[in-house]
Amino acid sequence: MPLSIALLHHPVLNRIGEEITSTVDHFDVMDGSRLTLTYGVQRFFVVNQVPAQQALVERLIRHGTAGDGREARGEFARTLWAPDLATAVELETRALGRRPSLVATTAASSADAVGFVTLRERLRHGEPMLVLFGKAWGLSASALGSADVRLAPIEAGTGFNHLSVRSAMAIIVDRLLG
């Protein structure tokens, strides 16, 4: 199924709702990369505009795909860095030959949110998707607004759903592809 994921570090929100750029956490890169291989996700984009953060991501990718690292850490084979969402979409469009539907994730409920079953069916029918995840306190309004679809939040019946991004990525990918 044509599914890719993007972990946005900009534009995201801080705890008081301001738009910020968050830092790259190497555990997010490692776990997202492993998730990508485990579920057959096409590509994992790490989106961050800060040059020093780019260097970190590229160093992780290089370590995991060159020389001895390739055998020991092949999980980075599908991981790519992009400076912004537009570049990630452009790279994904080029790889697919057509633009994917952009699917925003958020812990907030929305009347226009689409459920997991509906998106899973769309994937099974061949619709390519790029699922957007936000670091810090989630995707900003501008990032949410750039999406074609807003995914319904993860619900487990407890009323609490503000998960770490790594947990959210794993649960959402499992619900869509598992």
- Smallest CA-to-CA distance from 5 within 86, 87, 106, 80 is with 80
pLDDT at 71: 54
For position 63, what pLDDT does the model report? Answer: 79
Whether the CB-CB separation of 133 and 6 falls below 8 Å is answered with: yes
Structural domain harbouring 48? 3-177
pLDDT at 75: 72
Q: What is the CATH number of the domain that holds 159?
A: 3.40.1280.10
Can you list the positions of beta strands (E) in the chain? Answer: 3-8, 12-13, 19-20, 44-47, 79-82, 101-104, 129-134, 149-150
* H-helix segments, 4-98: 26-39, 51-65, 68-72, 85-96
Q: Take residue 42 and report the two structure tokens written for it.
A: 């096409």
**φ and ψ at residue 35, rounded to 5 degrees:** -60, -40
What stretches in the chain show pLDDT beneath 70?
Answer: 67-73
- pLDDT attached to residue 99: 98
Q: Rg of the chain's alpha carbons, rounded to an integer?
A: 15
- Give how many domains the chain has, as a whole number: 1
Q: How far apart are CA 115 and CA 112, in angstroms?
A: 10
